[in-house]
Amino acid sequence: MKMKILLTHRQLYLIALFLSLFLSQNGFAQNGKLKITGEVIDSSDKLPIPGVNIYEKGTKNGQSTNFDGVYIIEVSNPNATLVFSYIGYETKEVQVNGQSQLNVSLLQDTKKLDEVIVIGYGTSKKADLTGSVASVSSEEILKRPVTNVAEALTGQIAGVKITATEGAPDAEINIRVRGGGSLSQDASPLYIVDGFPVTSISDISPSNIETITVLKDASSTAIYGSRGAYGVILITTKSGTKGNKIEVSYNTFTGFNKIRKTLDINGSKDYVNWQYEYALLSNDLTSFEDYLGTWDNINQYDSTPTTNWQDNIFGQTGIVQNHDLSVRGGSDKINYNFNYTHYDLKGIMIGSDYKRDNLSLRLKSKPNDNISLNYTVRYSDTEINGGGANEQNEKSTADSRMKHFIGFAPFEIDGVTSSSTDEDLASNLTNPYVTVADNNRRQFRRNFNMLGGISWNITDALQLSTDFGLDYYKFSDYRFYGKSTYYVNNTPAVENQGMPALIFSTRDDKRFRNATTLNYDFKKLLGNDHHLKVLLGGETINFKSNTLTNTIHAYPSFFTFDNAINLTTQGTPFSTENYNLPEDKLLSFFGRINYDFKNKYLLTATYRADGSSKFLGKNKWGYFPSVAAAWKISEESFLEKYDWLNLLKVRVSYGKAGNNNIPVGQTIQPFQSSVTSWINNVNSYWAASNVLANPDLKWETTTTQNLGIDYEIFNGRISGTFDTYKNLTSDLLINFPIPGTGYNTQYRNMGEIQNKGIEASLNVDAIKKEKFNLSFAFNISLNKNNINSLGELSDFGAASRWASTAIDTDFLVNVGQPLGLMYGYQSDGRYEVSDFDYVGGVYTLKPNVPSNSSIIGTVNPGSMKLKDTNGDGVVNLEDRTIIGNANPKHTGGFIINANYSNFDFSAGFNWSYGNDIYNATKIEHSTATSNAGQFRNLLTTMAEGVRWNNVDPTTGSLVTDPNQLTALNSNTSMWSPFMDRYVFSDWAVEDGSFLRLNTLTLGYSLPNDFIQKIGISRLRLYSTVSNVFVWTKYSGFDPEVSTRRQTPYTPGVDYSPYPKSRQILLGLNLNF
| Distance (Å, whole) CA 892 – CA 898 | 21
Could you give the C-alpha distances from 791 to 422, 694, 740, in angstroms and in order? 52, 16, 20
Predicted local confidence at residue 27, as pLDDT: 37
Same domain? For 160 and 144 the reply is yes
Contact call for residues 466 and 514 (beta carbons, < 8 A): yes
Q: Is residue 947 one of the residues assigned to a domain? A: no
Q: Measure the N-to-C terminal CA separation of the chain; round to a whole number of Å.
A: 21
Same domain? For 131 and 102 the reply is no
Among 172, 203, 237, identify where a domain stops: 237
Segments forming the whole domain that contains residue 49: 14-111
Predicted local confidence at residue 156, as pLDDT: 80
| Distance (Å, whole) CA 881 – CA 799 | 15
Instruction: State the DSSP code for 271.
Output: H
Contact call for residues 476 and 444 (beta carbons, < 8 A): yes
Q: Is residue 133 one of the residues assigned to a domain? A: yes
Same domain? For 97 and 165 the reply is no
| Distance (Å, whole) CA 936 – CA 930 | 12
Residue 54: give its domain's CATH number.
2.60.40.1120
Same domain? For 122 and 230 the reply is yes
Helix residue ranges per DSSP H, 116-243: 138-142, 149-153, 218-221
Q: If DSSP codes are grouped into helix, strand and coil, which group holds residue 405?
A: helix
Q: Is residue 32 one of the residues assigned to a domain? A: yes
| Distance (Å, whole) CA 658 – CA 699 | 6
The values of phi and psi at residue 112, to 5°, are -80, -30
Q: Is residue 420 one of the residues assigned to a domain? A: no
Kindly write down the DSSP assignment for every residue of 805-863, as one continuous string. Answer: TSS---EEEETTS-S-EEEEBPEEEE--GGGEEEETTEEEE-TTS-B-HHHHSS--TT-
The values of phi and psi at residue 55, to 5°, are -145, 155
E strand or H helix that includes residue 566: helix 561-566
Nearest to 617 by CA among 530, 695, 527, 502: 695
The number of CA neighbours under 13 Å toward the Cβ of 720 is 16
Nearest to 586 by CA among 613, 624, 623: 613
Same domain? For 64 and 122 the reply is no
Q: Is residue 661 one of the residues assigned to a domain? A: no
Q: Is the dihedral of CA 143, 146, 149, 153 positive or negative?
A: negative
Which parts of the chain have pLDDT scores under 50? 1-30, 111-113, 393, 420-427, 676-680, 682, 684
Q: Is residue 23 one of the residues assigned to a domain? A: yes
Residue 177: give its domain's CATH number.
2.170.130.10
Kindly write down the DSSP assignment for every residue of 108-132, as one continuous string. Answer: B-HHHHS-EEEETTEEEEGGG--S-
Contact call for residues 260 and 1027 (beta carbons, < 8 A): yes
Residues 6+ apart with CB under 8 A from 859: 831, 845, 851, 852, 853
Same domain? For 144 and 194 the reply is yes
Same domain? For 216 and 132 the reply is yes
Burial class (CB in 10 A: 0-12, 13-18, 19+), 842: exposed
Among 237, 253, 288, identify where a domain stops: 237
Q: Is residue 495 one of the residues assigned to a domain? A: no
**Number of helices (H), then strands (E), in the chain:** 17, 59
| Distance (Å, whole) CA 19 – CA 15 | 7
Q: If DSSP codes are grouped into helix, strand and coil, which group holds residue 891?
A: strand
Residues 6+ apart with CB under 8 A from 498: 483, 488, 489, 557
What is the residue type of 73? I
Predicted local confidence at residue 185, as pLDDT: 65
Number of independent structural domains in the chain = 2
The arrangement of strands across the sheet holding 1053-1054 comes to 989-991, 916-919, 1053-1054
Predicted local confidence at residue 969, as pLDDT: 96
**Per-residue pLDDT reduced to its tens digit, 922-974:** 999 999 987 778 889 999 999 999 999 999 999 999 999 999 999 999 999 99
Kindly write down the DSSP assignment for every residue of 37-50, as one continuous string. Answer: EEEEEETTT--B-T
Among 237, 259, 286, identify where a domain stops: 237
Kindly write down the DSSP assignment for every residue of 604-625, as one continuous string. Answer: EEEEEEEEETTS-GGGSEEEEE
Q: Is residue 466 one of the residues assigned to a domain? A: no
Same domain? For 70 and 152 the reply is no
Predicted local confidence at residue 126, as pLDDT: 65
∠578-581-586 over CA atoms, to 5°? 165
Residue 566 CB neighbours (<10 A): 10
Nearest to 64 by CA among 76, 45, 88, 48: 48
Same domain? For 81 and 137 the reply is no
**Gyration radius of the chain's alpha carbons:** 33
- Give the rounded distance of the alpha carbon of 317 from its chain centre: 23
Count of all residues that appear for the chain in the document: 1072
* Helix axis angle, 268-282 to 285-292, nearest 10°: 150
**Per-residue pLDDT reduced to its tens digit, 513-565:** 999 999 998 887 887 889 899 999 999 999 999 999 999 999 999 999 999 99
Predicted local confidence at residue 679, as pLDDT: 45
Same domain? For 42 and 61 the reply is yes
Instruction: State the DSSP code for 851.
Output: B
Residues 6+ apart with CB under 8 A from 643: none
Instruction: Name the percent of the chain in helix, strand, coil, to the closest 5.
Output: 15, 45, 40
Same domain? For 118 and 230 the reply is yes
Could you give the C-alpha distances from 773 to 40, 592, 766, 905, 906, in angstroms and in order? 18, 41, 8, 10, 12
Q: Which residues of 73-82 are buried (b: 16+ CB within 10 A; e: fewer)?
A: bbbeebebeb
Same domain? For 35 and 89 the reply is yes
